[in-house]
Amino acid sequence: MFKAETRTRSLFFISVATFFSLSVWFSTNAISGALEIEKSVDESTIAILTIAVQLGFVLGTLIIAFTNLSDLVNARTLFAVSAILAAATNLLVIPVESTPMLIAARFATGAFLGGVYPPAMKVISGWYTKGRGFALGTMVGALTIGSGSPHLLRSVFSENWQAVIIGSSILAIIGGLILKFMVTDGPHDVKGAKFNPRYLISALTERGPRLALTGYLGHQWELYAMWAWIGSFMLYVVGDRSLIGDSLDLASVLTFLVFAAGAFASSLAGAWSEKIGRTAVTSIAMIISGTMAAFIGFIPVEMTVLIVILAMIWGASIIADSAQFSTAMTELSDPAYRGTMLTFQTGIGFALTAVSIWLLPIVKDSSGWGWAFAMLALGPVIGTAAMLRLRSLPESLNLAGGKR
């Protein structure tokens, strides 16, 4: 019987590794202003660079899912190798000058990140059965901080955009090494099944996994478009100001705090999900985030304090439910294909994010921030409906020890 402190130690190191490794995700978003000057990259190209990461991630996850690679190769090894390769391709942003090569570098970074996030979830699920929602929520909280960390680096190294890229790559390499050498496989880890691409099709014909996937897709429609453009929105709201003299860019600090609020909420929601149920937590979170999306962009910029407060609430609620969709999928699927289902769910969800990330600046340019953000509220509406439907079915008793 494993000791509780061993499980807690593993959760800590997995979370730290995820935090470090995901720092390369939004590195170009954090330095978008510098890229406009240094490499003649405009706002539409920044959107393409972000979408390239998303689509690369989709390719990486789908290759892993359809080959069952995350169940055939040790997840910690897959995580470490992928994190190091993502760090290497992230560094290419510095020397590369042409836009097509920048897009290719970001696409490669996203593809390698496909071997980071889902395997981390699989390692977590090998350590937890009871309390898995809290554990995955804590890990996703670390992912959230990691995704927002380039904005913090940017606020500190405001005059040196290359330091943001180098710093995030160093963190990713350290993260890969931490998970490989500081964590062991948990007692609930299952031996991967043989390659069986038909399992995905058969699993998604079942109501439980299908509704969990639908809820996740509604969540993803909103999440990454908000994450990708909240920095630009904060700059629009507060302007080009600093906190201390010429240091600590205010918009970047506020953007990082939006991510930080989400990290705290993700862990807290994971604990609540064990008490009141996964479908309840996901529905509540999506109702709150969808409401913020529907209204925040219409508030006059003169009401800066109110906008910042609502942005923090949005940042907290928009990610609070994320881990619970993944946890639900592990509880509704065959344990032997746990890694495959997590990877497939993640890949499909990130494919959808490319659409909303691409559409948001187009709607913003034609109709303003209000309608651009309001468009994102469609996702939570559909996601909430799916999770409430799942709650009404017998399959939901498999969630959170029967608490649904």
DSSP 45-57: HHHHHHHHHHHHH
DSSP 1: -
Query: Contact, 289 vs 222, CB < 8 A?
Result: yes
pLDDT on residue 47: 83
* One-letter amino acid of 87: A
| Location of structure tokens 């904005």 | 151
131: which strand partners? 129
pLDDT of residue 79: 93
Alpha-carbon torsion (122, 128, 133, 139), positive or negative:
negative
Q: What's the pLDDT score for residue 1?
A: 43
CATH number, domain 8-184+194-402, options 1.20.120.450, 1.10.3720.10, 3.40.1080.10, 1.20.1250.20: 1.20.1250.20
Q: Nearest to residue 230, comparing CAs of 302, 137, 153, 312? A: 312
Q: Give the pLDDT confidence score for residue 195 in this predicted structure.
A: 53
For residue 106, give both structure tokens: 């970001």
Q: Where are the alpha helices (DSSP H) in 161-276?
A: 161-182, 198-204, 207-238, 250-276
Q: How far apart are CA 83 and CA 113, in angstroms?
A: 7
DSSP string for 56-76:
HHHHHHHHHHHTTHHHHS-HH
> pLDDT per position in the chain (404 positions), as tens?
445 568 888 888 998 998 899 888 878 877 877 888 788 887 788 888 888 988 998 888 878 767 767 667 788 999 999 999 999 999 999 999 888 999 999 999 999 998 887 788 778 878 877 777 788 788 888 878 877 777 777 766 666 888 889 999 999 999 999 999 998 887 776 555 555 556 666 666 778 888 888 999 999 999 989 988 998 899 999 887 776 666 667 888 899 899 889 988 988 888 888 888 888 999 999 999 999 999 999 999 999 999 999 999 999 999 998 888 888 887 887 776 666 777 778 778 888 988 998 999 999 999 999 999 999 999 999 999 999 998 888 877 777 666 76
Q: Cα–Cα distance between 339 and 394 in angstroms, integer? A: 24
The Cα 337–Cα 194 span in angstroms is: 9
Phi, psi for residue 184 in degrees, rounded to 5: -115, 165
Report yes or no: 163 and 155 within 8 Å, Cβ to Cβ.
no
The structural domains of the chain, with segments of one domain joined by +, span: 8-184+194-402
Question: Among 160, 144, 190, which residue's Cα sits nearest to residue 23?
Answer: 144
Query: Residue 218 in contact with residue 384, Cβ under 8 Å?
Result: yes
Side-chain-side CA neighbours of 195 within 13 Å: the count stands at 6
Going from the C-alpha of 161 to that of each of 92, 105, 383, the distances in angstroms are: 13, 17, 37
Specify the pLDDT at position 197: 59
DSSP letters spanning 309-333: HHHHHHHHHHHHTHHHHHHHHHHHS
